[in-house]
Amino acid sequence: MKLSPREAARYFARPDPDRAGLLLYGPDPMRVALKRQEVIATLLGPGAEEEMRLTRMMAGDLRADPAALLDAIKARGFFPGPRVVFLEDASDTQADTVVSVLEDWQPGDAQLVVTARQLTPRSGLRKAFEAHRNAYAVAIYDDPPGRDEIEAMLARAGLSGLDRSAMGALADLATALDPGDFRQTVEKLALYKLGDAAPVTPDEVAVCAPRSTEADADDLIHIVAEANTAAIGPLLRRLEAQGVTPVTLCIAATRHFRALHAATADPGGPAQGIARLRPPVHFKARDRMVRQAQAWGLRRLEQALGLLIDTDLVLRSSQRAPQMAVMERSLIRLARLAKA
């Protein structure tokens, strides 16, 4: 049977140990692997590895011994409890073997969990699970986790009592991070709040969010937009030491000032303009960018974009001027323009 995204979310929260099998497939191996890990952990509970209730197999190994999969499904262990046979990185090459295993599956056998990359509707492997009455096929898309998934993740980490603003901060973070980084952030937040009964705040979410070079570059652009000329040099030196190129900074600055320009030109005003930007602005930067857009105004933002376009042309030209010095001069000119 094929599960829709909403049905899949409910099933992942309480997977059925009496099913014959589950196929997880999608274009992003990381998202598929994380969902598989979550499902197997929920199905088997703690101690599955030590009690040998989980058998791992690579799909490529079945070429030499196709019967090994059915043998693993039928095998009986020494420890009570549900069992899972996990077949990793399967494809249509193993479709016939999987179909045979599903046909021979009986109550009491181990559940078969299969992961695969993107499968077309004509895929034999996908059809085997979608046509089986006691097996499920679930597509794992690249969409960020929804509110239900975030709440389930928080519950597993032992976090509760989030207010609307903190949940909104996490939802924004989920759109900006890959699934592995987002899960680590939730786990870090759980450790940060260990023993603290107070509700989670947006500032605490921000403290636990991963810090990256891109975030440092964004800080520099905010400093420029707010006319903090004295802080430009030290932060620019730090970014240069991290290996950030002048062209990267110019692209980041141009993107930021284009967003301010679009927000300022919005008929609903800068606040609504910032809210409508795609991709969405990080929750901590929204109010800051609204203030910047209001302070700059449309005419000066157009001047800033013209300056950045000229800088980009210089950086990409054959001139021998030190590129970081060119970029620093442009950023200082922007900051002074903000004060004008």
pLDDT at position 278 over 80: no
Beta carbons of 300 and 338 less than 8 angstroms apart: yes
Question: For 76-100, what is each residue's pLDDT tens digit?
Answer: 878 888 999 999 999 999 999 999 9
Q: What does the pLDDT average to over 38-48?
A: 89
Half-sphere exposure of 6 (CA within 13 A, CB side): 0
Distance CA 238, CA 244 (A): 9
Q: What is the DSSP letter of 142?
A: S
pTM of the model: 0.57
Cβ atoms within 10 A of the Cβ of 221, count?
19
Structure tokens at 122: 């004509």
Distance CA 113, CA 17 (A): 11
pLDDT at position 37 over 70: yes
Structure tokens at 339: 């004060």
**Pairing of the two strands 21-25 and 84-90:** unpaired
Q: What is the dihedral of CA 208, 213, 214, 217, to 10 degrees?
A: 110
Distance CA 137, CA 20 (A): 11
Of 169 and 288, which is predicted with more confidence?
288
Of 53 and 180, which is predicted with more confidence?
53
Of 170 and 295, which is predicted with more confidence?
295
pLDDT at 295: 92
Q: Label residue 45 left, alpha or beta by phi (over 0 means left) and psi (-120 to 50 means alpha).
A: left
Q: What does the pLDDT average to over 262-267?
A: 91
- Domain ranges for the chain, please list them: 5-139, 147-208, 213-339
Cβ atoms within 10 A of the Cβ of 122, count?
8
For the ranges 23-37, 73-87, 310-324, the lowest mean pLDDT is seen at 310-324
148 burial type by CB count under 10 A (0-12 exposed, 13-18 middle, 19+ buried) = middle
Partners of 111 in the beta sheet?
Answer: 84
Q: How confident is the model at residue 154 (pLDDT cuts 50, 70, 90)?
A: confident
Q: What does the pLDDT average to over 203-218?
A: 70
Q: What does the pLDDT average to over 52-57?
A: 92
Question: For 7-31, what is each residue's pLDDT tens digit?
Answer: 888 888 889 989 999 999 998 888 8
* Among candidate residues 163, 164, 167, the one with its CA nearest the CA of residue 186: 167
Distance CA 48, CA 53 (A): 5
Q: How confident is the model at residue 200 (pLDDT cuts 50, 70, 90)?
A: confident
pLDDT at position 307 over 90: yes
CA distances from 187 to 155, 169, 197 (A): 11, 15, 16
pLDDT at position 41 over 70: yes
Give Cβ neighbours of residue 264 (< 8 Å, ≥ 6 apart): 270, 273, 293, 294, 296, 297, 298, 301
Partners of 21 in the beta sheet?
Answer: 112, 135
pLDDT at position 196 over 50: yes
Q: What is the DSSP letter of 27?
A: S
pLDDT at 213: 44
Q: What does the pLDDT average to over 205-231?
A: 79
Torsional sign, CA 141, 144, 148, 152: positive
pLDDT at position 222 over 70: yes
CATH 3.40.50.10860 fits 5-139, yes or no: no
103 burial type by CB count under 10 A (0-12 exposed, 13-18 middle, 19+ buried) = exposed
pLDDT at 85: 96
CATH 3.30.565.10 fits 213-339, yes or no: no
Q: How confident is the model at residue 111 (pLDDT cuts 50, 70, 90)?
A: very high
For the chain, the average pLDDT equals: 87
Q: What is the DSSP letter of 79?
A: S
Distance CA 75, CA 104 (A): 13
Distance CA 280, CA 278 (A): 5
pLDDT at 262: 92
Beta carbons of 26 and 32 less than 8 angstroms apart: yes
Of 215 and 312, which is predicted with more confidence?
312
